Chains A and B, each alone.
Chain A
Amino acid sequence: MSFLSAQAVAIAAALTIPPLIVLYFLKLKRTIRLVPSTLLWKRAVEDLHVNSPFQRLRASILLLLQLLILILAALALGKPFWERAAKDEKTVLILIDQSASMSVVEADGRSRLDIAKEEAKTCVDNMDEDSRVMVITLCDRATVTSSFDNDKRALKRKIDEIEQTQSTTSLVEAASLAEAHAQQVVIADTEPSKMKPSPATVYLFTDGRFNDADKVALKKFKAEELIITRIGERDDNVGVLSVDARRSYDRPELVSVSATIRNFGSTPQNFDAVLYLDDNVLDIQTVQLTPGRSTDDEAGVPLGELPPGSVGVCAFDEIEFGGHGVIEIALRIDDALKADNRGWTVIEAPHHINLLLVTPGNPFLAKVLTLDALPLKTTTMSPYEYEEASDEELLDGERSKYDVVIFDGHSTDRLPQGNYFFWGAVPKIEAVAAGEVIDDEVIFNWDDTHPILRYVAAENISVYEWLRLQVPSDAVSIIDGQTSTVLTYFTREASQFLVCAFRLIVEDQQGRLLRNTWWFTSVDFVVFMQNATQFLASNVATTGRKSLSPGEPATLPIPEDAKEVNVHRPDNRTDRVPSAGYQNIHYGATRAVGAYRVDPGVTGQDVFAVNLFDVVESNVLPAEKLEIGAESVEARSGEVKVNRPGWGYLLMAMLVVLLAEWIVYNMRVFV
């Protein structure tokens, strides 16, 4: 045993032990008792003491005990330690959910994030001294808040610094990050026999609502090494799940606004929904929603199995507005989560979409695009003309002068910034390619919540053949075949690409034109083209185009001569963002919901909305059980019970008792 503070031992011992012994050698004040004779008592005492070298000390067990206490106390002050063979460090990962649902204020007045931080700090306090702890926060993306450290004070300070976000929750990235860091750091000169991986323990503090828990595969963790602490109890929440603004086809100055609102709680709700246009109240409606779940339904119900009446649509029709502005729906309700009580969307001034159709000749497509019902101004070029056209004909600055360019069976790499719709062809950009023709599959799946398929009966689409598309990993598949995607959407730089794997008309080997699908003969196709062109051109704001999820980066066009722009955030702060080149900016500080304004911006694209619009996040009832990959992990609730080190208090108590004992005895002792 060694001492970090050997001097403290010596000082403490010198100050306390000699006085104690001296006090004991002073005459003890004894109770006087009369006896008939002391003759035999003296003999008895002498008999007991005979041959004893420490006769006075021997009589006092109290003194020996007190000496022992003092010696132990003095040794403790010296910070004793033992040199042992170094044992493996324990690796501990603390994951703290900072998503929007963690902002729910619980009954004790603390937000779930505050509770999680307190419990995480308690967890840190409870760690062994040789544990190395990493703190990771997770919302829409995972962030290492504190790299591996064993300084508990620094770790707790880092935990305190975690801020609330209004983002969704993603476990995939956090799990990947945790697994990556959970591996034992192998030092180059470590003997192979000592390179045993130390088991990492993961503490997850969350309310258990993840969008992607089923995509997580915990290969390196055992279930018992993942300890999930369930935070929170409240379930009363009403959330806006979408806000949609649409101009009338025939009277573009009239706008219809609708919002999908869901009651996630177990009590009926009655509240007002207020419609704002550029922060001015336009209308108010009263909304009544039945409970979203029964009180004993702990896990909540999936979206598809809602009780009738728990989801409502609040519609405001025929609002006369011909300009460009921000529409907001706000629910006047005091519920658990505030971030989902408001939804924004941006509506632009009505104007005809300037469309370029590049086709070798497709009368069906040309006909649809020239219908009066569609507010389109269509220009048609052959592929040859397009490739040969001068920049002046195609470009406005660095962007395409057309709002939407449709390529019918023509793949090209002449793609200035713009919005492109490929039929049976692909943009010649990285990671995108067209493969062999598939003619033996059927349309298998589609996303009918996507704005492009709104009011489109996708189940009626029947196509003879399409190309096997190779698309980037970030591409959103809208319609799927059995083995490949049929309709997909992705963005690159400031351009949008909508790629359809089939053409409406194909040529056979003899060069005859054949219908590849009867779809274009249905009304659905007209609606589809309306949706697609408006989606790409963003003429009418929809939940998909202009609304971003919290934390999702935005790429926005800026004026040609602007070197940097100001982004005015919903929290009244302003960020100065330099141009990323190519007349656009990348902006990522979108953690707060609301409307963001770019100044100076390109007219019509100088405002964007960030909305929560997340069923999982709005369902604030904490999950009892977390399904992670194929594993099911029970979440424990309540406060983390820990064993705080108590030796310091004990030592203090010991010294106090000792002091009191001295005082009491000294009152009875006389010199």
Chain B
Amino acid sequence: MAIIDRKAAEELLDPEFMNRLDQLDLVSRKIFAGKMRGERRSKRKGESVEFADYRSYVPGDDLRYLDWNIYARLDSLFLKLFLQEEDLHISLLLDISKSMDWGEPNKGLYARRIAAAIAYIGLVNFDRVSLYAYANGLQYELAGVRGRRLMFKVVDFLTNVEYEGVSNLAAACKQFAIRHPQPGIIMLLSDFFEKGGYETGLRYLLGRNYDIYVVQMLSPEEMDPALVGDLQLKDVEDEDLAEVTISRALINRYMQNLKAYCQSLSEFCTRRGISYFFTGTEVPFDQLILTYFRRRGLIQ
């Protein structure tokens, strides 16, 4: 068994908080068929004890599920069908572009802690958890871990990702959708400062009928910038320059634009059945998970 870097793990999730997460479960608004039988009721008929239906026998069916009493009475072969309990695919797409390494509290850390919490909840409930870190495409991948035992892999993954490159949501989503045709819960963690636009990327995900959760997080410095003077603003991702002379009017205009930008993302998501969450990184992390996500029905 691999040893979890305790310090790194505690940075993401402290033990006390993990205990509280043990009681929670992710709620999917859609019921998906998993590869393995899990603790989640599936639409697929399976091998659980809960009877679902009968159907006529066709050659090849497992003879163990034939209802011999029916055969005795009706002289026809019927197969007993049971509701099968299946596992859930939870995919966490984490933005690791350079813009995420920003702010106090740090956006990237905040996103990784959310990812760790959601992943832990999934692992505890025997869901199949996959983590992807993207910037200009999918950069890091931890696919299909299952069970609490593998939490160390999640922590290891989250502590080892490095912030790099320019965020390209469309490319990342396209790659993800190609690789993961099976449905499941997708949680997208990003600041959504996409110069190419976020719409294309989200449409790739919508096409696969995922249950999509979008979490947008911004640092306080982004929401109310404390800048003065004649400045040359340099984009940390693409090093694009913007010359500004800070004035109250300009700050007001920036804040109005930010509000409108977040509003448009929210509307885009809502119209397409995507759950949209917005948070500032100054919001306490445990409060976000235990209160905000719960109230919005993501976890229970």
Residues of A within 8 A of B (CB): 28, 30-45, 47-48, 59-60
Contact = CB atoms under 8 A, between A and B. Distances in A.
B257 A47 contact: yes
Given A40-B258, A41-B242, A44-B250, A32 B234 contact: yes
A35 B250 contact: no
B243 interface: yes
Contact of A31 (B193, B229, B250): B229
B103 A45 contact: no
Contacts of B261: 40
A44 B222 contact: no
B233 interface: yes
B241 A38 contact: yes
A48 B243 CA distance: 13
Contact of A35 (B229, B235, B245, B253): B235
A47 B195 contact: no
Contact of B236 (A36, A40, A42): A36
Nearest to B195: A39
Most buried by A among B102, B103, B230, B241: B230
Given A41-B244, A43-B257, A45-B244, A34 B234 contact: yes
Given A36-B222, A45-B242, A30 B231 contact: yes
Interface of A is mostly: mixed
B245 A33 contact: no
B70 interface: no
21 contacts: A28-B243, A30-B230, A30-B231, A30-B243, A31-B232, A32-B231, A32-B233, A34-B236, A35-B225, A35-B233, A35-B235, A36-B193, A36-B235, A36-B236, A36-B237, A37-B237, A41-B254, A42-B242, A44-B244, A45-B242, A48-B253
Contacts of A31: 229-232
Given A36-B103, A44-B257, A30 B250 contact: no
A40 B254 CA distance: 6
Enumerate the 9 nearest inter-chain pairs by beta-carbon distance, A residue then B residue, closest first. A37-B193, A36-B99, A30-B232, A38-B242, A44-B253, A44-B254, A36-B102, A38-B235, A30-B230
A44 B233 CA distance: 13
Interface in B95-114: 98-100, 102-103, 107
Interface string B205-246: 000000000000001001001010111111111001111110
B257 to A, nearest CB: 5
Contacts of B85: none
A33 B237 contact: no
A28 B230 CA distance: 8
A45 B230 contact: no
Nearest to B227: A33
A32 B240 CA distance: 12
Nearest to A60: B245
Nearest to B99: A36
Given A36-B222, A37-B195, A39-B193, A59 B233 contact: no
A32 B232 CA distance: 5
Interface string B191-210: 10101000000000000000
Contacts of B249: 48
A51 B2 CA distance: 63
Most buried by B among A28, A34, A40, A42: A40
B257 A35 contact: no
A60 B242 CA distance: 17
B222 A38 contact: no
B193 to A, nearest CB: 4
Contacts of B235: 35-39
Contacts of B236: 34-37
Interface string B115-157: 0000000000000000000000000000000000000000000
A41 B219 CA distance: 16
Contacts of B219: 36
Nearest to A31: B231
Contacts of A60: 245
Given A35-B236, A48-B253, 4 more contacts: A30-B230, A35-B242, A36-B98, A36-B100
A287 to B, nearest CB: 83
Given A40-B261, A47-B253, A48-B249, A33 B191 contact: no
Contacts of B191: 36-37
A32 B230 CA distance: 9
Nearest to B232: A30
A32 to B, nearest CB: 5
Interface string B32-72: 00000000000000000000000000000000000000000
Contacts of A33: 227, 231-234
A115 B103 CA distance: 73
B40 to A, nearest CB: 38
A64 to B, nearest CB: 13
A26 B231 CA distance: 15
A647 to B, nearest CB: 33
Nearest to A59: B245
Nearest to B167: A37
Contact of A48 (B222, B229, B250, B258): B250
A352 to B, nearest CB: 110
Most buried by A among B191, B195, B234, B243: B243
Nearest to A47: B253
A35 B241 CA distance: 10
A408 B64 CA distance: 187
Nearest to B229: A31
B235 to A, nearest CB: 4
A265 B240 CA distance: 89
Contacts of B233: 32-35, 38, 41
